Amino acid sequence: MTVSGLPSDPVLAPGGKALPFTVTIANPGPTAYADTSLVVSMGHCSCVDTPTSEAPQGTLQEWSPATGTWDSVRYVTEGTGMDFISRPQLTALSLGPGTSSSFTFRVRFKATQPNPVHKGQVMLDATLLSRAQQLLSPSSAASATFQVEAH
């Protein structure tokens, strides 16, 4: 799995522009991936001073090639446990052996935040899970680091 299409030093800021990126899922093995789900989540952020360091509030949209529009999907942050993996954006995905599929998203931080946001970093994580919410393989997760500008 890869996360691609980002500038070399991607920056998010509250109220700033949305950053598009592509998640590519590849199945290099001999067995089909069936009934899998994709979770795109924002990891802990050094840009907030809260007990759980959850990423700032935001929005996530997926590009629909069929309609030519951006559709809002669930914006997920990682907190104190693994409950974020139960909040996929895409479900019932199947991928045959030796094939791949790509999905384009864009992420943005909301202009108004409940806590002050200062300069820092946040990870965007993409995770492909089985029906039992387990990683399919070590290569079924990918991340990208974003710089965060002050609010």
The pLDDT of residue 130 is 77
Q: Which residues lie closer than 8 Å to 23 by C-beta, 6 or more apart?
A: 1, 2, 3, 38, 40, 102, 103, 104, 105, 126, 142
Buried b (16+ CB within 10 A) or exposed e, 29-46: eeeebeebbbbbbbbbbe
Sequence ranges of the domains in the chain: 2-146
Give the C-alpha separation, 83 to 60, whole Å: 18
The pLDDT of residue 12 is 98
The pLDDT of residue 86 is 74
Please tell me the CATH code under which domain 2-146 is placed. 2.60.40.10
The pLDDT of residue 6 is 97
**pLDDT beneath 70, residues of the chain:** 132-139, 151
The pLDDT of residue 138 is 55
Single pTM value for the model: 0.91
The pLDDT of residue 139 is 63
Taking only the tens place, the pLDDT of each residue in 59-82 is 999 999 999 999 999 999 998 777
| Cα pseudo-dihedral 95, 132, 23, 108, rounded to 10 | 150
